[in-house]
Amino acid sequence: MRMRNAYNPSAPKKATNLTVNSDLLSQARALGINISAVLEQSLAEKVRKLKAEAWLRENQKAIQAYNQEVDQNGTFGEDSRSF
Instruction: Report DSSP letters for 13-60, one per residue.
Output: P--------HHHHHHHHHTT--HHHHHHHHHHHHHHHHHHHHHHHHHH
69 within domain boundaries? yes
68 within domain boundaries? yes
51 within domain boundaries? yes
62 within domain boundaries? yes
58 within domain boundaries? yes
> Half-sphere exposure of residue 75, counting CA atoms within 13 Å on the CB side?
4
Instruction: Report if pTM > 0.75.
Output: no
Number of domains in the chain: 1
16 within domain boundaries? no
49 within domain boundaries? yes
Looking at residue 6, its pLDDT comes to 78
8 within domain boundaries? no
Dihedral of CA atoms 65, 70, 71, 72 in degrees, nearest 10, equals: 90
9: buried, middle or exposed (CB in 10 Å: 19+, 13-18, 0-12)? exposed
1 compared with 48, residue with greater pLDDT = 48
Domain extent, residue 67, equals 44-75
Residues 14-70 pLDDT 10s: 999 999 999 999 999 999 999 999 999 999 999 999 999 999 999 999 999 999 999
